[in-house]
Structure 1
């Protein structure tokens, strides 16, 4: 039997600059972090993955790979093993994989065909179609972690939300499938909302928010409701409206999901702490982060949570939010402490988060009277983030202004000006 190469994994490795040996090293480190034991992968192990000789790595290895890449294994081209049926399969039963392959023409085309020929038989929409949407959602999340705030990500996510809704009309489906399709559409729309927030396009973000909230209600999915309202709290925090931010974040925190799962409770509390920092509520900030840390320590490390949650919320993200809060409070030594903890724990795929934390660290160092160290830190921000990410670009502009006010005419200012000039696009 022919073995199909895993070209998806090979393309991902080429895009992110991984050789077989370097990816093996990264996964081994992630395995040690997860299990306490060093992994035993080497370059030949990765080559076996790419060649298709290994189609579904062991569970701990898959989890480590997902931590390194920020993508589920299925989105990297791996195929779960099928259990043999305990009883003979019914004759003429349709293979779910074959059902998925019939949707070749795209969701919009399928919906149009269904509308154009109402008298003809319709296909059956199943959870396999929902799983395919979730793989595309994983790609959107991964792209956001690499680039963040880009208009293209927002537009792609919004278009995929429409595709998920079109699939509602492409055939018959159970209530469970229809609820899952609404949840998928809400998830895509919430990613469009987040990209707009990250790019400081707040009016557009609010329009995405309203659509996402309506879809989430139709889905009944608590996790996606949490994501949308938590994003809304972050949006209002960035807009300088802490009262609205607290109100929105409270909606997320009051969902019963946060009482069942301490990790969701931790994220809600950490974002509450960041809002308190913006509002100059020092006591509220310390209380929220203490509670967020305690909840995180109680959380089950199992991987049953939604992919978007697993891809970003961990100790590094908690420290990133604490960094933001203490920087807003003017507590620069504590901000620097959290910055170093965040940067040391960030997973490789969190490119956008690393740029933000690095920029905030530079601000904290400058505020403590260390312009040389601060400038060296700020110069580590990649050009792509410095020029294309709205939040990072603005913070770096503010850093340059503060540096010139702190050390006017110094060689450090000249060094920074020359470095920043390389980022400007020629007229």
Structure 2
């Protein structure tokens, strides 16, 4: 028996940026939401639908397709059993007639009220444009970090993503993607506020980001928000809350699916254990984070925010923070050198932070000359414009003056700080 290609389904997939594999994944997720059991479709099943080899999927599959596309099965080109593909469908189910009727209705409205136009169709191209803007925000954060301007731009882009929800019609997949974009931008605003020590604002962004992430269903962005929350509470001096928030991130399914997410959760646990003065916990979490990273597939597709920063250098950076808090300055210096050696060129903010922490570790071992020379390597813009770096350098100066108040190296440092401020 000959088959007729399902051109309606092919056209919908092309319009909405779906491959056979991605549509299969979306249908599987919809089936799990509907029935409690994940679907077992893959790209070959979708290719059978497109080729017309499967003309009328099972009832649960049709419902899942309707959830994903927002269209009934017949509008996607499927043909009920017992009907010849060449036989016209009943008027209420014929996609061509429905489309014609819609066109007539719109034309009539437009003629009656020239100022009205048909609702815009929101597609994956809109979310792809937002995702490019998100990559720009991430890059700006790694160059500058903590700036109020980054926070404000990210918050404005979150609002832009939400405004698109009301700008026209869209499939469930597109709407979920828009919510994910809004959550990503809001989480970047949250991080910029944390990095700038604006904790009240960070908590406001966190609450909005969490709600948006729930609506998106995106596990990776949920992980990012809760992981950021753990870091925020650690910086606020609340290690108990930090552990609780980070445990939420580490408990998400994505950490069991991808060892790189598991590694990041454990790496941030290292720093939290340090703040809580739990040296054995910090050491154990570091070993586990290293092990998880070694098991991760480096070629696997991951979100741009994770690819941009999490690697061996960040793992050592978090260990550096932990051992500084624990007062183990020798181990802290070891991790500082490992971090700085592995940092990628675009990690300008991270290099300034690691260099400042290295200076603290060296000063903690009594080597004021080396520590001061290290601290003087921090670029002037980071020293004066990044709130976290400025604070750590201020603390370094206070510790240096307490350690060697009349030493020539202290005078050198004071003069260097004055030059920084003059250039700001």
TM-score range, shorter-chain basis?
0.7 to 0.9
Alpha-carbon distance in 2 for matches of 1:237, 1:326: 14
Unaligned runs of 5+ in 1: 1-86, 88-115
Partner of 1:81: none
Partner of 1:160: 157
Q: Kindly indicate whether the alpha-carbon contact (under 8 Å) linking 1:326 and 1:335 is maintained by their aligned counterparts in 2.
A: yes
Partner of 2:128: 131
- Does residue 360 of structure 1 match 2:357? yes
Q: Kindly indicate whether the alpha-carbon contact (under 8 Å) linking 2:317 and 2:336 is maintained by their aligned counterparts in 1.
A: yes
Alpha-carbon distance in 1 for matches of 2:275, 2:163: 41
Partner of 1:381: 378
Change (3 A) 1:215 1:405: same
Partner of 1:307: 304
Note the C-alpha offset of 1:425.
Answer: 4.7
Alpha-carbon distance in 1 for matches of 2:175, 2:146: 30
Alpha-carbon distance in 1 for matches of 2:227, 2:189: 14
Q: What number of residue pairs does the alignment pair up? A: 314
Note the C-alpha offset of 1:122.
Answer: 1.5
Note the C-alpha offset of 1:120.
Answer: 2.5
Partner of 2:13: none
Query: Where does 1:8-157 land on structure 2 (aligned, <5 Å)?
Result: 120-157=117-154
Note the C-alpha offset of 1:422.
Answer: 1.1
- Does residue 175 of structure 1 match 2:197? no
Query: Where does 1:411-426 land on structure 2 (aligned, <5 Å)?
Result: 411-425=408-422
Change (3 A) 1:118 1:254: farther
Partner of 2:55: none
- Match among 322, 325, 333 for residue 325 of structure 1: 322
Q: Kindly indicate whether the alpha-carbon contact (under 8 Å) linking 1:258 and 1:264 is maintained by their aligned counterparts in 2.
A: yes
Change (3 A) 1:377 1:122: same
Partner of 2:286: 289
* Cα deviation code 1:277-296 (max 9, x no counterpart): 00000111111111000000
Helix, strand or coil for the counterpart of 2:299? coil
TM-score (norm 2): 0.72
Alpha-carbon distance in 2 for matches of 1:118, 1:316: 57
Change (3 A) 1:266 1:238: same
Note the C-alpha offset of 1:303.
Answer: 4.2
The structure having more radius of gyration, on CA atoms, is: 2
Partner of 1:221: 218
* Cα deviation code 1:12-58 (max 9, x no counterpart): xxxxxxxxxxxxxxxxxxxxxxxxxxxxxxxxxxxxxxxxxxxxxxx
Change (3 A) 1:411 1:250: same
Partner of 1:200: 197
Helix, strand or coil for the counterpart of 2:146? coil
Q: Kindly indicate whether the alpha-carbon contact (under 8 Å) linking 2:162 and 2:182 is maintained by their aligned counterparts in 1.
A: yes
Helix, strand or coil for the counterpart of 1:423? helix
Alpha-carbon distance in 2 for matches of 1:127, 1:118: 27
Helix, strand or coil for the counterpart of 1:422? helix
Q: Kindly indicate whether the alpha-carbon contact (under 8 Å) linking 1:303 and 1:310 is maintained by their aligned counterparts in 2.
A: no
- Match among 367, 371, 374 for residue 370 of structure 1: 367
Q: Kindly indicate whether the alpha-carbon contact (under 8 Å) linking 2:380 and 2:423 is maintained by their aligned counterparts in 1.
A: no
Alpha-carbon distance in 2 for matches of 1:202, 1:289: 27
Helix, strand or coil for the counterpart of 1:120? coil
* Cα deviation code 1:53-74 (max 9, x no counterpart): xxxxxxxxxxxxxxxxxxxxxx
Note the C-alpha offset of 1:423.
Answer: 2.0
* Cα deviation code 1:208-259 (max 9, x no counterpart): 0000000000000000000000000000000000000000000000000000
Alpha-carbon distance in 2 for matches of 1:337, 1:376: 17
TM-score (norm 1): 0.72
Alpha-carbon distance in 1 for matches of 2:114, 2:249: 43
Query: Where does 1:240-319 land on structure 2 (aligned, <5 Å)?
Result: 240-319=237-316
Alpha-carbon distance in 1 for matches of 2:324, 2:253: 32
Partner of 2:236: 239
Alpha-carbon distance in 1 for matches of 2:212, 2:115: 26
